[in-house]
A and B are shown apart, each in its own frame.
Chain A
């Protein structure tokens, strides 16, 4: 019988789903557009699907057989973005705004954006080069001087409190995917697929969380509610591996802070600012990758947090692991990931789930 894990592929329908997810506007606190897609996709497949007080989608899919492990998988529905804060010129549709989540000021000037659930188009105006002084050209254009411009036509269609995202359409570039919000729509798409194809040896608890980008907030209450035995978080992490940074011209010129690399496979976490990941789960997934011949990499220990940061400390503690798809240029208007990394990611997590049992928690740490 063919190994079920190797038959898991990323096909056209999954790329279409990821397209819908990435093109949706769901900035932290208003995840409705993505939530609707998740519920539409999964209601036919699950025993229980509910939306909690914060907007997390909590899903249970029971397995069969004795002694089943209760495993929670999480992926966050929200993306970083902007929020309109002040109507400066109602007639002309000029607004002040704030950033939500970690968006650098350096990413903003001149960008096209979509505002609200109706994706009203706007632009973040920037002073052209002709009118900029030499001094101005040296520094970052600060948030205080930027404005969102929707023009007179659309000024009545947007209001204070509306959220906005970069206006990037998903596209396939050969072996790569280019989109906004790969962090973490690629995790959401993967989790949807894993719930649909859930292996029967465990009880699968899926949490599509809210407000990760502003402090891992949805995951905290989701973990409290679902109370799993272990938790695996699906996210997207930075690849800081541009070829120019990898040239070893001389000793000490190596890129020592790449975080992860494109093409090197799913990235397994050991330690970040929020979590020290469970060594038994790390070893289990590394061994699974080796046994199944799936490429993998270790995400460099260092900064950053994932939903595991709030999950692992919940209740009396939940052994946790994060595994991410690597992507360049996260938290900007367009990120790039490799289709092959996504496929290996899906294969690895599925293979891991199919092999998990309560025995993993009896292992020495």
Chain B
């Protein structure tokens, strides 16, 4: 699975420009899916299985897009100005490298600070393409780039840009490949534009109209020096989301996931995230509402070019997801 993860994270694919990553995912899943569709916004939707009498229509979603930047202006001297796509902090940009979809690379520089106490703003940053005039600039206003950092395998831990949410994509692809018998009909949705407001999933959830939904995304940890006050740590198992700022996970879904994890003795952690949201919210609020939750992969340094996950956590997440799908669902409706 490490090879698959590396392949996925290194592809540039910021929100709205998911062509390359969508093609690669499609190639991976084509031999395994019953049906594959691309909807109006570009979500890649694969289905597996038929719905049995006791089964449900289940929607799983991992987002293909990553954060990035988009060019707003090329000045006379050939320097580019940009704005952000998704939650990009200027602090994480300075000195970084970006890669445009056509392969063009650039370096992010900053203007000299007038007040060294304040961190730079996006308006004070620019991209250096190594050219001297506007006419020599290989890209144009409106072109999109992702942050550029290679994948590294530290053994137990993996580091790359775009673990958010290519690691979720990897788990979903892996699950689809190993999916065998199930009472459920499962929609594997690889969504677009999550980072700019769960937009792809909003449309996909309406179209799929599921009985139950689960997002697979990363979550923060509390295990770094003077870090967030959060119980989740790398290496202690997959995280079962109870709450984030976009969604209160359906308690029945949380219970369903915990019960299965305990039954199969898969290490898990209970997750309460203070700030951040996932595609799960979009599913929960679609049409007349859907019981929804999220299976999270603990990740350090989210929205930086060096996001870190624990490989065992990832494997455990894939294990749990498969077990959840291959067994009937009893959501414990209170009558």
A residues touching B (Cβ–Cβ < 8 Å)?
Answer: 248, 251-252, 254, 256-257, 270-271, 276, 279, 282, 298, 300-302, 312-319, 364-365
Q: Quick check: A276 and B75 within 8 Å, CB to CB?
A: no
Q: How far is the CB of B227 from chain A (nearest CB, A)?
A: 30
Interchain nearest-CB distance for A224 vs B (Å): 10
Interfacial residues of chain B within 268-313, with CB under 8 A of chain A in the complex: none
Any A CB within 8 A of the CB of B24: no
**What is the chain B residue whose CB lies nearest that of A303?**
B83
Question: In the complex, which residues of chain B have a beta carbon less than 8 angstroms from the beta carbon of A319?
Answer: 40-41
Q: Is B53 an interface residue (CB 8 A)?
A: no
A317-B40 CB under 8 A given contacts A251-B76, A256-B72, A301-B70: yes
Beyond the given pairs A301-B70, A318-B40, 5 more chain A to chain B contacts, judged by CB atoms under 8 angstroms and listed by A's residue number, are A251-B77, A257-B72, A298-B142, A312-B41, A319-B40
Question: Per a CB cutoff under 8 Å, which of A256, A300, A316 touches B40?
Answer: A316
Residues of A within 8 Å of B42, CB to CB, are 365
Contacts of A300 in B (CB 8 A): 72-73, 141
Q: Which residues of A contact B196 (CB under 8 A)?
A: 276
**Residues in chain B near residue A302, CB distance under 8 A:** 72, 83
Chain B, residue nearest A268 (CB): B142
Partner of A271, one of B41, B43, B142: B142
Name the segment of B159-167, B200-208, B235-243, B257-265 touching the other chain: B200-208
Question: Is B221 located at the chain interface by the 8 A CB criterion?
Answer: no
Check: B137 CB closer than 8 A to any chain A CB.
no
A-B contact pairs, 15 of them (CB 8 A): A251-B77, A254-B75, A256-B72, A256-B73, A257-B72, A257-B73, A270-B70, A270-B141, A271-B16, A300-B141, A313-B202, A315-B203, A315-B207, A319-B41, A365-B19
Tell whether B111 is near chain A: CB-to-CB under 8 Å.
Answer: yes
Question: How far is B75's CA from A131's CA once the two chains are assembled, in angstroms?
Answer: 46
Q: Which of B83, B111, B203 contacts A313 (CB 8 A)?
A: B203
Evaluate whether A364 and B19 lie within 8 angstroms (CB atoms) in the complex, with A298-B141, A317-B207 already known.
yes
B121-150 CB contacts (< 8 Å) to partner A = 123, 141-142
B212 contacts partner chain A, Cβ-Cβ < 8 Å: no
Q: Give the interface of B toward A (CB within 8 A).
A: 15-19, 39-43, 70-73, 75-77, 81, 83, 85, 111, 123, 141-142, 193, 196, 199-200, 202-204, 206-207
A271–B70 contact, CB under 8 A?
yes
Q: A248-B76, A256-B81, A300-B73 are in contact. Are A316 and B204 (CB under 8 A)?
A: yes
* Known A256-B81, A301-B83: A316·B206 in contact at CB below 8 Å: yes
Known: A248-B76, A254-B76, A316-B204. A301 touches B193 (CB 8 A): no
**Cα–Cα, bound, A265→B204 (Å):** 36
Judge whether A257 and B39 touch: CB under 8 Å: no
Known: A248-B76, A257-B72, A316-B39. A301 touches B203 (CB 8 A): no
A117 to chain B, nearest CB (A): 37
Residues of A within 8 A of B19 (CB): 364-365
Q: Quick check: A276 and B204 within 8 Å, CB to CB?
A: no
Assembled-state Cα–Cα distance A276/B72 (Å): 14
Interface pair B141/A317, CB less than 8 Å apart: no
- State the CA gap A276–B43 with chains docked (Å): 14
**Which chain B residues lie closer than 8 Å to A315 at the CB level?**
203, 206-207
Would you call A256 and B75 a contact (CB within 8 A)?
Answer: yes
A252-B111, A312-B199, A317-B40 as given contacts; A271 in contact with B85, CB under 8 Å:
yes
Q: Nearest 8 CB-CB pairs, A to B?
A: A317-B203, A276-B16, A316-B207, A317-B40, A317-B41, A270-B142, A256-B73, A301-B70
CB contacts (< 8 Å) of A313 on chain B: these are 41, 199, 202-203
A300 to B18, CA, bound (A): 21
CB pair A276–B77 under 8 Å, yes or no, is no
Please name all residues of chain B whose beta carbon is closer than 8 Å to the beta carbon of A256 when the two chains form the complex: 72-73, 75, 81
How distant is A218 from chain B, measured CB to nearest CB, in Å?
Answer: 19
* Minimum CB–CB distance for B80 against chain A, Å: 10
- Give the CA-CA distance A254 to B78 in the complex, in Å: 12
- What is the minimal beta-carbon distance from A297 to any residue of chain B, in angstroms? 9
Check A301 against B40 for contact (C-beta < 8 Å): no
In this complex, what residue of A is CB-closest to B74? A256
**Best-surrounded residue of A254, A300, A302, A316 (most CB of chain B within 10 A):** A316
Residues from chain B with Cβ under 8 Å of A279 in the complex: 16-17
Expressed in whole angstroms, the minimum distance between the Cβ of A326 and any Cβ of chain B is: 15
Q: How far is the CA of A224 from the CA of B331 in the complex (A)?
A: 32
B75 proximity list for chain A (CB < 8 A): 251-252, 254, 256
Please report the C-alpha to C-alpha distance between residue A336 and residue B292 in the assembled complex, in whole angstroms: 49
Most chain B beta-carbon contacts within 10 A, residue among A302, A314, A317: A317
